[in-house]
């Protein structure tokens, strides 16, 4: 098996999602240089207030090499970034959560965006994070309408209005009494995650935490959906 993995590594080398160098350890989420140089968020910096959530924690600031890596994932559709980004979100959640959640879920794309992209970037991250944490990953939400890109709106109130009513609980979603970790790629004002957390709480969830790869400042820098 090791031989096979080695041969596959030569054919399909695994690259660092942040700088594109080939990883010596194909299981690692990033290269040693990025491990040292990326803008990691430490302590309280990692937390952003999100309505209806008990905490939203992000591994990285959305600057330096991070925006390009996120764009590569979402817009150049490099699905392989889902695993390393999910692992980094999982590590961040484990560093900051006061309790172990019961399950992971994600803030879904609209059907239209999902068709365009071919995958849901938050779902891939949630699945990788759940596998790393040994926790189930469950679909819980549906995006009802195709909203304007949040990054086109810099006013936090407009961002909140834009996503209001945009999500609904999936029929049969098992959220009642559960502590859920909601995963997404980037948090900015937290409007989207707050709206999702609200719907999950209304559906009977016990508490919601959020984990994202990166935290942006909300100046329209964080890319579209
Ligand atoms: Zn790197």
Q: What is the pLDDT of residue 7?
A: 64
CA 169 to ligand 1 centroid distance, Å: 38
CA dist 64 and 133 (Å) reads 28
How confident is the model at residue 13, as a pLDDT?
A: 86
**Has residue 1 got a pLDDT over 70?**
no
Q: How far is the CA of 214 from the centre of ligand 1 (A)?
A: 16
Gap from CA of 119 to ligand 1 centroid (Å)? 24
Q: Distance from the CA of 163 to the center of ligand 1, in angstroms?
A: 34
Percentage with pLDDT > 70 across the chain: 92
pLDDT at 154: 84
pLDDT band at 21 (very low <50, low <70, confident <90, very high): very high
- Please name which of 6, 140, 20, 162 lies closest in space to residue 80, comparing C-alpha atoms: 20
130 CA distance to ligand 1 centroid (A)?
A: 23
For 127-166, how does the pLDDT look when each residue is reduced to its tens digit (9 = 90+)?
A: 999 999 999 999 999 999 888 888 888 888 999 989 999 9
**Which domains does the chain possess?**
42-63+82-215 (3.40.50.2020)
User: Cα separation of 214 and 23, whole Å?
Assistant: 22
Out of 30-39, 175-184, 196-205, 213-222, which region has the weakest mean confidence (pLDDT)?
Answer: 213-222
The pLDDT of residue 204 is 98
- What percentage of the chain has pLDDT greater than the value 90? 82
CA of 22 to the centre of ligand 1 (A): 8
Nearest to 214 by CA among 39, 95, 32, 79: 39
In angstroms, what CA-CA distances link 152 with 129, 158, 218? 29, 10, 10
- Report the relative pairing of strands 56-61 and 103-106 from DSSP bridges: unpaired
* Predicted confidence (pLDDT) per residue in 116-126, tens digit: 999 999 999 99
By the 10 Å C-beta count (0-12 exposed, 13-18 middle, 19+ buried), 99 is classed as: exposed
Could you tell me the distance, in angstroms and rounded to a whole number, from the CA of residue 142 to the centre of ligand 1? Answer: 34
pLDDT at 189 over 80: yes
């Amino acid at each position: 098996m090791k031989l096979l993995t080695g041969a596959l590594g030569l054919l399909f080398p695994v690259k660092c999602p942040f700088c594109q160098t080939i990883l010596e350890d194909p299981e690692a989420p990033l290269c040693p240089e990025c491990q040292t140089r990326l803008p990691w968020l430490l302590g309280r910096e990692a937390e952003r207030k999100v309505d209806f959530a008990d905490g939203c924690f992000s591994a990285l600031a959305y600057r330096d090499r991070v925006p390009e890596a996120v764009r590569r994932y979402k817009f150049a559709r490099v699905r392989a970034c889902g695993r390393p980004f999910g692992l980094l979100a999982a590590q961040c959640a484990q560093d900051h959560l006061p309790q172990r959640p019961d399950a992971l879920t994600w803030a879904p794309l609209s059907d239209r965006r999902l068709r365009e992209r071919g995958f849901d970037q938050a779902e891939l991250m949630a699945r990788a994070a759940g596998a790393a944490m040994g926790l189930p990953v469950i679909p819980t939400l549906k995006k009802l309408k195709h909203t304007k890109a949040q990054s086109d709106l810099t006013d936090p109130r407009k961002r909140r209005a834009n996503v209001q009513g945009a999500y609904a609980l999936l029929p049969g979603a098992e959220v009642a009494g559960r502590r859920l970790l909601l995963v997404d790629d980037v948090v900015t004002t937290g409007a989207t995650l707050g709206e999702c957390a609200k719907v999950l709480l209304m559906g009977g969830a016990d508490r919601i935490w959020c984990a994202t790869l990166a935290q942006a400042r909300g100046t329209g820098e964080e890319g579209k959906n």
